[in-house]
């Protein structure tokens, strides 16, 4: 027990990284990994979704499976989330959206419209969701007296270079390379001199590296080829999936070239990947600070970067 506590204390202590003193004091970006998985339906890594809090605002980046459960686990009310930024429209990144939108509207209740930013196709998806759930929306409005404003989606289609600014928080969308899925975005969040970059799904992307130079926190996706071998995936299929993403060696090169203060893996393909599958190959090309993300991991980017792993199991 004592050993466990000591080890945990040591771990937290080791994960405190001092940031540049030019940033404003007391301002931080808080990042919570709600889901670190991908399509396979597993309990320990829910679908991709990242909560970013800064300047009193809260945003979700992607809305994968279980995003609403995870939000509840971290005691964030859906009504307090300003909006959702989508990286791309692959289903693993959006299947949790109807649950957030409709269940979150009903309970605990939302009475303000929701902004959704995403690539071309987002408006179409949102209007079709409104059609698909038209029956429930109608019933909830008159039977449950749910707020008419709370179910409204304000969808906006954005492109490379789009900037959102409010309360000192700046969010920039940039193209990444998830060909043939185009466009696919990464996002950069700036606040109070702190910076966070989320890769979305991408191959090695020069544009991402441009946006992530010297960033405080770089959260990057990764695909470990060994996991496909272990799962018995046919070689051609495995190669094709891995080719849409980055291997740990490639991610290490990205980290070496961008020099983030901390690099964290999320969107882990396949979700069965172990630290052994990810860390040693990354170390061939990168020697800096690196963490393998897990659901409910919190990363506070302030004067220091502090990583908190969940104390209880995520499932
Ligand atoms: Zn994905
Ligand atoms: Zn994808």
Q: How far apart are CA 264 and CA 30, in angstroms?
A: 14
Q: How far apart are CA 303 and CA 261, in angstroms?
A: 12
Ligand 1 centroid to 93 CA: how many Å? 6
Whether 277 is catalytic: no
Q: How far apart are CA 312 and CA 175, in angstroms?
A: 36
The closest of 225, 232, 301, 238 to 264, measured between CA atoms, is 301
**Rg of the chain's alpha carbons, rounded to an integer?**
19
Q: In what order do the strands lie in the sheet with 217-223?
A: 163-166, 169-175, 185-191, 194-198, 217-223, 262-269, 290-292
Ligand 2 centroid to 53 CA: how many Å? 24
CA–CA distance from 43 to each of 96, 132, 278 (Å)? 14, 27, 20
Q: Over 249-273, what HEC string results?
A: HHHHHHHHHHCCCEEEEEEEECCCC
Ligand 1 centroid to 26 CA: how many Å? 34
Q: How far apart are CA 107 and CA 145, in angstroms?
A: 12
Which residue is catalytic, options 62, 92, 190, 201? 92
Q: How far apart are CA 33 and CA 217, in angstroms?
A: 13
**How confident is the prediction along the chain (315 residues), in pLDDT tens digits per residue?**
433 443 444 344 346 776 554 555 579 999 999 999 999 999 999 999 999 999 999 999 999 999 999 999 999 999 999 999 999 999 999 999 999 999 999 998 999 999 999 999 999 999 999 999 999 999 999 999 999 999 999 999 999 999 999 999 999 999 999 999 999 999 999 999 999 999 999 999 999 999 999 999 999 999 999 999 999 999 999 999 999 999 999 999 999 999 999 999 999 999 999 999 999 999 999 999 999 999 999 999 999 999 999 986 555
| Torsion over CA: 74, 80, 86, 89 (sign) | positive
SS3 71: helix
């Amino acid at each position: 027990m004592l050993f466990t506590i000591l080890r945990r204390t040591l771990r937290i202590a080791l994960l405190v990284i001092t940031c540049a003193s030019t940033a404003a004091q007391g301002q931080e970006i808080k990042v919570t990994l709600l889901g670190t998985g991908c399509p396979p339906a597993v309990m320990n890594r829910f679908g991709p979704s990242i909560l970013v809090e800064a300047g009193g605002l809260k945003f979700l980046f992607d809305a994968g499976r279980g995003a609403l459960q995870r939000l509840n686990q971290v005691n964030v009310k859906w009504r307090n989330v300003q909006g959702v930024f989508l990286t791309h429209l692959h289903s693993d990144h959006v299947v949790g959206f109807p649950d957030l939108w409709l269940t979150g509207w009903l309970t605990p209740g939302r009475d303000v419209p929701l902004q959704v930013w995403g690539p071309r196709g987002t408006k179409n998806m949102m209007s079709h969701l409104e059609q698909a759930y038209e029956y429930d929306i109608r019933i909830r409005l008159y039977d449950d007296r749910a707020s008419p404003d709370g179910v409204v989606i304000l969808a906006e289609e954005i492109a490379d270079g789009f900037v959102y600014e409010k309360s000192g928080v700046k969010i920039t969308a940039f193209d990444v390379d998830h060909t043939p899925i185009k466009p696919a975005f990464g996002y950069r969040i700036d606040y109070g001199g702190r910076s966070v970059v989320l890769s979305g799904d991408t191959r090695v992307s020069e544009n991402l590296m441009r946006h992530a130079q010297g960033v405080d926190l770089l959260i990057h996706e990764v695909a470990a080829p060994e996991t496909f071998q272990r799962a018995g995936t046919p070689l051609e299929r495995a190669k094709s999936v891995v080719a849409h993403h980055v291997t740990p060696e490639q991610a290490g090169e990205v980290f070496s070239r961008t020099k983030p203060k901390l690099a964290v893996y999320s969107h882990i393909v396949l979700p069965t990947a172990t630290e052994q599958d990810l860390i040693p190959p990354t170390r061939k090309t990168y020697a800096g600070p690196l963490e393998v993300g897990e659901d409910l991991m919190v990363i506070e980017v302030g004067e220091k970067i502090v990583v908190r792993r969940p104390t209880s199991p995520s499932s």
